[in-house]
Structure 1
Amino acid sequence: MTTPAPATITCIYCRQVREPTREHVLPRSLGGDLVALILCKDCNSGRLSRLDQALAERSFVAFSRIAATPKDAFDVQLGGEHFVQEGKSGLVLEVALINGVSASMLPQVHVAVVGETNHVAIVTADVSSLDRLHAFVTKKIESGQLRAMHVKLGPEAAGPTARLVMHRERDGFIRAQTDADARNAIEVLEKDWASAYKHHVALITAGNQQAEVQSIPQPSVRVNLEIRPDDVNRAVAKIAFNVLAARVSPEFALSPEFDELRKYVLGEDIRHRSDLGQDEVAVDLRFVTQLPHDTAPLVPTEEHAVTISYVHPSLFAWVTLYRTDNFVVRFGDISLSENVLAVHEFSSVRTGNAALDVAETIQRMTAQVEHHGK
């Protein structure tokens, strides 16, 4: 018999009594499939909404994510903007970095100015992408929305040609180096899109390989990715705190000793040093420490694991993501009657999660020590 969900809960972050939401204890974007009623909708869709994305798409963990997630699991993508130069045409193309660190061509239309002549180049990975691009651009033109599309200027790595890029099914943008280039590309597409598309299709029908850019073997990709360390660390702290609430109890997570961590995760109390050096990045390091890449996990795992440990007077969590990315999270000081060791392991492809018992934990840790001792 399924227990009905409560109408209200006390949210472990804002501590308000509100309607609950199904929170993925470990973000679903990282493969998590364990849900718990520990957050309110306001926190989950408001102040905390961007943290999971920062960790999954705009962090060093994001590189592990796209490398470790197989194509038959679910689609993943690195955040930011990425470019590769195609050898035959010389065009700098927009690509997405996806599962297996492979470059996926985004459907795009380039407008290159040679002298006083505009040349339109349509670039797609396959005919299906071409059909979707055609429908997208045609609709934008016919509805008069082409001029309202978001314009991105630069970076220099994007190359000199202005282009329209379709990066979602119903969304796209104009890329150019200057406003004048963007306006010219829009005017050219409004005037010449139909004829350029027909010419492109005719070349494909005739078997002209110049009509399409095929997959680029082992491309050299320019990665343009903004990382926000505070958001990344807050996301890791949120994972640890979620596991504490789900594994121990929501009531324990509501202890006042964790109020400082709570405010930090919510973004209410972010502190930066005033004496930063010229090459230092402002980041609040009071609660989260990222360990060197490829540090051995505290409890050996091939996927994700969170280990909660209490040694008087402090409660900590060791968070391991994709085996190679390790963080230590300090919850705070609290007085407990005994030491604590609790481990929860998560799949990275949504195939399960499990609490490890003490025997399994000790066995894994002992095997790791013996392996390194050989």
Structure 2
Amino acid sequence: MKRSDTKKMEQILCIYCGNHRSPSEEHVVQKSLGGNLITNLVCKDCNTGFSTIDQRLAESSIFSLARVGNALPESFPAYLGGDNLRVSPEGRWEDVRITNRMKVEILPQIRLEKEPEPVPPRIAFAGSDPDEMRVLISLVDKKIGNGAINKVFIKVGDPIKSKDPRIVLHRHKDLYIRAASQAEGEEFIAVLTRVWSQIYTQVQGSQLKVEPAPPGVVAVEVQVCPDENHRAIAKIAYNLLAVCKGAEYVLQPEFTPLREYIRGNEIVHEPLQGSEDVTVDTRFVQSFPYGPSAFMPSDGHTVVLGYSHPTVFALVTLYSNFTYLVKMADLDLPEFQIEVFEFSIDRTTSRRLDLREVYQRRTTPDIQIR
């Protein structure tokens, strides 16, 4: 459905809150994963509430590396979440981002380089993009000018990797300060504020030095949140079921536990068995062993909607090798048509597959996948 058509629609029955409200475009498979199939069955308030779990599914999940590694540079920007750091040729730690096809880019940063005494520390710049460096300088100048620099978040990190305090431009044009302690971060702010007018005068009209990140070891720290990842996967199955069956179908009382789970209102954890265990609500989503889907071979994402009395279920496969079973509801149905959908990873295609093609893919060796 086109964006202009969405604006013409006055109200829809939201498949999450059950209220009649203005629609919001919701991707069945998250846009950040390359999905392009859009449904208009979700209201804006509910859709906005899913942004965090969608982002973490894309950037902080067990397949985030596969997402970044498979993303073509011309498709859309893909980033790995978490803290990503590398050592510069001079032996200093720098904040970097990992993007399409595992490309490493130095984030724009201004750092206080500490030297062995009696050499005084100095202010230095680092980054891979001159335009982003200008944005960083402009934002720092604005925040120092209006007194908001003290409100920039201080990210306390490893003492070695955070030895040189630095202020960094994140990709959403927000700033953070990395330092070995809160006190060092505050001290860096004071130093930067004190010398900023001199620095700002020097960089105006000058050619800022930028450099690509040479090959080397990158330290990656990604915090995976299984509950949020599983909720986002369950949302894929629920969204597609709503597309196939309609809003009234998925708003049946039998789907209420799943719906509330996706919304984050009812998360159930079993008691921990050991100190190394991680609590995960497995009532609705369970992962299969890593490897190609046994049911639907594909080089993208696939979702299979099925029914095995009494359970309506889905098999969600992401990036060809990560498959999840989603148990959606128990219903007494006389029949249920199996639905199989395939989604690209670059926002180009999505289509329903007929069962004959599914059979051919499963039985024909070395079949070429389109």
Distance in 2 (CA, whole Å) between partners of 1:215 and 1:189 is: 25
Residue aligning to 1:177 = 180
Residue aligning to 1:357 = 354
Q: Contact 2:13 / 2:41 at 8 angstroms: preserved in 1?
A: yes
Distance in 2 (CA, whole Å) between partners of 1:39 and 1:133 is: 37
Q: Indicate how the Cα distance of structure 1 residues 157 and 319 shifts in structure 2: closer, same or farther if over 3 A, else same.
A: farther
Q: CA deviation at 1:92?
A: 0.3
For 1:50, the aligned partner's letter is T
Q: How does 1:254-265 map to 2 (within 5 A)?
A: 254-265=251-262
Distance in 2 (CA, whole Å) between partners of 1:23 and 1:11 is: 11
Other structure's SS at 2:324 match: strand
1:49-103 deviations in Å (ceiling 9; x for gaps): 3221121111112221111111111111111111101122x11000011111121
Q: Indicate how the Cα distance of structure 1 residues 136 and 306 shifts in structure 2: closer, same or farther if over 3 A, else same.
A: same
Q: Contact 2:108 / 2:129 at 8 angstroms: preserved in 1?
A: no
Q: CA deviation at 1:349?
A: 0.9
Other structure's SS at 1:340 match: coil
Distance in 2 (CA, whole Å) between partners of 1:197 and 1:220 is: 33
Q: Contact 1:297 / 1:326 at 8 angstroms: preserved in 2?
A: no
More deviation, 318-327/135-144? 135-144
Q: How does 1:271-310 map to 2 (within 5 A)?
A: 271-310=268-307
Q: Indicate how the Cα distance of structure 1 residues 126 and 232 shifts in structure 2: closer, same or farther if over 3 A, else same.
A: closer
Q: CA deviation at 1:227?
A: 1.1
Q: How many residues align?
A: 362
Other structure's SS at 2:364 match: helix
Residue aligning to 1:224 = 221
Residue aligning to 1:326 = 323
For 1:191, the aligned partner's letter is R
Q: CA deviation at 1:134?
A: 2.6
Q: Contact 2:128 / 2:213 at 8 angstroms: preserved in 1?
A: no
Match of 1:39 among 42, 47, 64: 42
Residue aligning to 2:171 = 168
Structure 1 unpaired stretches of 5+: 206-210
Q: How does 1:51-200 map to 2 (within 5 A)?
A: 51-88=53-90, 90-114=91-115, 115=117, 117-156=120-159, 158-168=161-171, 170-196=173-199
Residue aligning to 2:239 = 242
Q: CA deviation at 1:198?
A: 6.4
More deviation, 164-173/23-32? 164-173
Other structure's SS at 1:140 match: helix
Q: Contact 2:227 / 2:280 at 8 angstroms: preserved in 1?
A: yes
Residue aligning to 1:208 = none
For 2:87, the aligned partner's letter is Q
For 2:65, the aligned partner's letter is F
Other structure's SS at 2:121 match: strand
Distance in 1 (CA, whole Å) between partners of 2:262 and 2:38 is: 19
Q: Indicate how the Cα distance of structure 1 residues 275 and 173 shifts in structure 2: closer, same or farther if over 3 A, else same.
A: closer
Q: CA deviation at 1:361?
A: 1.6
Residue aligning to 1:20 = 23
Other structure's SS at 1:327 match: strand
Distance in 1 (CA, whole Å) between partners of 2:92 and 2:272 is: 44
Distance in 1 (CA, whole Å) between partners of 2:217 and 2:160 is: 12
Q: Indicate how the Cα distance of structure 1 residues 320 and 156 shifts in structure 2: closer, same or farther if over 3 A, else same.
A: farther
Q: Contact 1:84 / 1:219 at 8 angstroms: preserved in 2?
A: yes
Q: Indicate how the Cα distance of structure 1 residues 248 and 363 shifts in structure 2: closer, same or farther if over 3 A, else same.
A: farther
For 2:167, the aligned partner's letter is L
Q: Contact 2:18 / 2:251 at 8 angstroms: preserved in 1?
A: yes
1:90-125 deviations in Å (ceiling 9; x for gaps): 110000111111211100011133336221121122
Match of 2:212 among 210, 215, 227: 215
For 1:332, the aligned partner's letter is A
More deviation, 162-171/262-271? 162-171
Q: Indicate how the Cα distance of structure 1 residues 358 and 312 shifts in structure 2: closer, same or farther if over 3 A, else same.
A: same
Q: Contact 1:309 / 1:317 at 8 angstroms: preserved in 2?
A: yes
Structure 2 unpaired stretches of 5+: none
Distance in 1 (CA, whole Å) between partners of 2:254 and 2:305 is: 16
For 1:187, the aligned partner's letter is A
Distance in 2 (CA, whole Å) between partners of 1:152 and 1:258 is: 41
What is the TM-score normalised by the length of structure 1? 0.89
Residue aligning to 2:341 = 344
Q: Indicate how the Cα distance of structure 1 residues 170 and 314 shifts in structure 2: closer, same or farther if over 3 A, else same.
A: closer
Q: Contact 1:297 / 1:324 at 8 angstroms: preserved in 2?
A: no
Other structure's SS at 1:122 match: strand
Distance in 2 (CA, whole Å) between partners of 1:260 and 1:247 is: 20
More deviation, 281-290/148-157? 148-157
Q: CA deviation at 1:192?
A: 2.4
Q: Contact 2:272 / 2:278 at 8 angstroms: preserved in 1?
A: no
